[in-house]
Structure 1
Amino acid sequence: MVVLLHRYEVKGCQVVWVIRHTAICHTFVDEGAAVFFLPHLHDDSGCHGDTAELRKRTKYVCEGVGEGREERGEGEKERIGSALGPDWHTGRQMKGRNEGPTHVQVEYEVEVKEILTASQVKSRGLQPSKIGPRPPEEPQLGYQWPIFVALTNGKVFGCDLVVSATGVFPNTTCLTSSAGQTEVELSEEGGVVVDNQMRTSLSHVYAAGDVCTARWTHSQLWFQMRLWTQGRQMGSYAARAMVAHSRNEEVSLDFCFELFAHVTKFFGYKVVLLGLYNSQGLDTSQYEVLLRCTKGQEYVKAVLRDGRMVGGILIGETDLEETFENLILNQLDLTDLKDCLLDPRVDIEDYFD
């Protein structure tokens, strides 16, 4: 997914996007928002918004990552670096060798079955699938690709590079002994269980970020999603909790755990996710959805339960982030205002200010 969300910066190559869902960006947005983004997969005129914005986020590196085994000491374990992060492509040349337009081919509801060499593809009698539109005079490369990917739908694609974006999982192997035992309590998914003070089951041991599983009673409007923003919030809160506990004090649960919130960019659009933005944990009979969509400009979604807003998706320069946040936190009854809540002729910012 990482490559395609920066699709507007990738030039001169053919891309096959393999997803196991029915729509792109399934982890973050609903199918309606996915349809809003689809035109940008094949748009070479550039993306929406400014791609040359100044980035001021702090960057972290792991010294020595990438060094060859022969350069490390005998018995020294290979060190693991941080995730790529949102600015992974900064300063890199994102251009392939093709002079023609970039083409993105999406394969829905499918997974990678096997990665093969050219000789394996030949010996099995597999026929490479066509990638994108090519001029009649340009021959298909056939078996000349350096690597091939076999999919569960029977297609086989030759490619120069395979990018695997399979999500995040807790890496707790360092906490397991050679006998396969661990002293710290782990959740079913393998994360280190922490309470509302970020404490683990071991005295004076704390955990934060992707490695942990938040096991306290959550706010109804917050849930754990292993994102870099939550990792940063948890880390900051854990540090304050450790200082307080060293002084025999307790800290109140940070306000950031009251409401799920994440801000990012897809295809150059600002994307704001608030609360139960995809009706997480709600039955279809428990909520209703209000939508406003302007093609190429904005996508606004509000999730209401019993007439009160519990989540929302804002794509584009909507200027509704603060208003939605306040409506979700205040739990104001919007039953009588539903018909005009997302009416573009009504300035709800001023109305609820």
Structure 2
Amino acid sequence: MFCFLLKYEVEGCEVIWAIKQKSISSTFVDPGAAQFFLSSLNKDKSKEEAPSKRLKYTLEDDKYLASSTTKLGGALGPDWSAHLHMTGSMQTSHQVHVEYLVEIQRLLSPEEFESAGLSESCVPESFICDKSWPVYVRLTNDKVYGCDFIVSATGVTPNTDPFLAGNQFSIAEDGGLKVNDHMQTTVQDVYAAGDICTVSWEVSQHWFQMKLWSQARQMGVYSAMCMVADDQKEDIQLDFCFELFAHCTNFFNYKVILLGRFNAQGLGNDYELLLRVTKDLEYIKVVLQNGRLQGAILIGETDLEETFENLILNQIDLTPFKEHLLEPNIDLEDFFD
């Protein structure tokens, strides 16, 4: 997601975006939603700053912090660039060119580039060419681009190695530390949360684990509650945040909300999709199975998140209303109140 957001946040630069999938950000959204975003790739950024309603955490000076040179902050989140100035030397806002279905084949120094007798691919024509770059990239489609620096986004891999020596942790298939519904690992008094852990309990029908800052924060809060409850010998129920997958962020200045099985994860082929798309305004996709809402992608100011969240949790049979579910002139919130 960081690499996805960076394409929009950086200004005054030319960006070559090389991805190995057929569409941008396929981890989060379907090709249809990716197509909706493409028109925003090279648009000027809005100068308006919307107010942030997310929780903020600050560090106060104390004895420990005074002796430490490193202050650890919270998870990345959608506000990571709020106080950063990322502007290059170009007069235009930014330009982005996407190369699909490719990976990096080789990195070359200027000397290697010259000795190999290669020439730089110059697409689109408006991009700078015939310049000496500090590094060159050869892609698997044999195109070669020069650049000032490279940002590599390779996904999330649990970094468990520092904790394994001498400890009998149970490790999941993805390499994470297995945790139970109290966020406890298989080592006594050791809890784990966030990207390093993998849940091993039987999850809710509409929740699944995804390596996201929002889930990491929820797990961290719930882990603290479990620690206190276990220390005081109190019973604690699984937090409600594990009942329904929900993630809210911003892509290209659009509000993006992912709910439930938003890409029909785990539903097989027995489902149907309903779409409502208004160019440059909104993209709405709902996933239905047996007439019941299982997930949704909401892009833009749709004001449907609360209604769809309740419909997923309540599992109301929507078959009689299916044909009118996404009609813009119907107030779903009042209808299902």
Q: Secondary structure of 1:309's partner?
A: strand
Q: Secondary structure of 1:213's partner?
A: strand
Report what 2:273 is aligned to.
289
Deviation at 1:269, TM superposition (A): 0.7
- Answer yes or no: is the 8 Å Cα contact 1:269–1:315 preserved in 2: yes
Superposed counterparts of 1:103-118, under 5 Å: 103-118=95-110
- Answer yes or no: is the 8 Å Cα contact 1:14–1:132 preserved in 2: no
- Evaluate the alpha carbon distance shift between residue 151 and residue 206 of structure 1 in structure 2; reply closer, same or farther with a 3 A threshold: same
Report what 2:151 is aligned to.
163
The one of 91, 99, 102 aligned to 1:99: 91
The one of 118, 121, 129 aligned to 1:140: 129
The one of 318, 323, 335 aligned to 1:334: 318
- Answer yes or no: is the 8 Å Cα contact 1:65–1:81 preserved in 2: no
Report what 1:75 is aligned to.
none
Deviation at 1:132, TM superposition (A): 3.1
Question: What residue ranges of structure 1 are gaps of 5+ in the alignment?
Answer: 67-79
Distance 1:203 1:339 in 2: 53
CA deviation digits over 1:258-293, x for unaligned, max 9?
100000000111111000000001112x11001101
- Evaluate the alpha carbon distance shift between residue 318 and residue 52 of structure 1 in structure 2; reply closer, same or farther with a 3 A threshold: closer
The one of 51, 55, 60 aligned to 1:53: 51
Distance 1:163 1:230 in 2: 24
Identity of aligned residues (%): 51
Report what 1:240 is aligned to.
225
- Answer yes or no: is the 8 Å Cα contact 1:262–1:274 preserved in 2: yes
- Evaluate the alpha carbon distance shift between residue 97 and residue 82 of structure 1 in structure 2; reply closer, same or farther with a 3 A threshold: same
What is the alpha-carbon root mean square deviation over aligned residues? 2.3
- Answer yes or no: is the 8 Å Cα contact 1:131–1:157 preserved in 2: no
Report what 1:70 is aligned to.
none
Distance 1:141 1:221 in 2: 53
- Answer yes or no: is the 8 Å Cα contact 1:128–1:157 preserved in 2: yes
Deviation at 1:11, TM superposition (A): 2.3
- Answer yes or no: is the 8 Å Cα contact 1:195–1:214 preserved in 2: yes
Distance 1:273 1:14 in 2: 30
Report what 1:222 is aligned to.
207
Report what 1:76 is aligned to.
none
Answering whether residue 111 of structure 2 is matched by residue 126 of structure 1, we say no
Deviation at 1:126, TM superposition (A): 2.2
Which segment is superposed worse, 113-122 or 317-326?
Answer: 113-122
Question: What residue ranges of structure 2 are gaps of 5+ in the alignment?
Answer: 60-64
- Evaluate the alpha carbon distance shift between residue 336 and residue 85 of structure 1 in structure 2; reply closer, same or farther with a 3 A threshold: closer
Which segment is superposed worse, 84-93 or 191-200?
Answer: 84-93
- Answer yes or no: is the 8 Å Cα contact 2:19–2:102 preserved in 1: yes
CA deviation digits over 1:94-117, x for unaligned, max 9?
221122452211001111222221
Report what 1:200 is aligned to.
185
Paired amino acid for 1:240: M
Q: TM-score, normalization: structure 2?
A: 0.91
Report what 2:24 is aligned to.
24
- Answer yes or no: is the 8 Å Cα contact 1:168–1:210 preserved in 2: yes
Which segment is superposed worse, 343-352 or 240-249?
Answer: 240-249
Paired amino acid for 1:19: I
Distance 1:3 1:216 in 2: 31
Distance 1:15 1:318 in 2: 30
Aligned residues: 330
CA deviation digits over 1:193-233, x for unaligned, max 9?
00111111111111111110001101110000011111111
Q: TM-score, normalization: structure 1?
A: 0.87
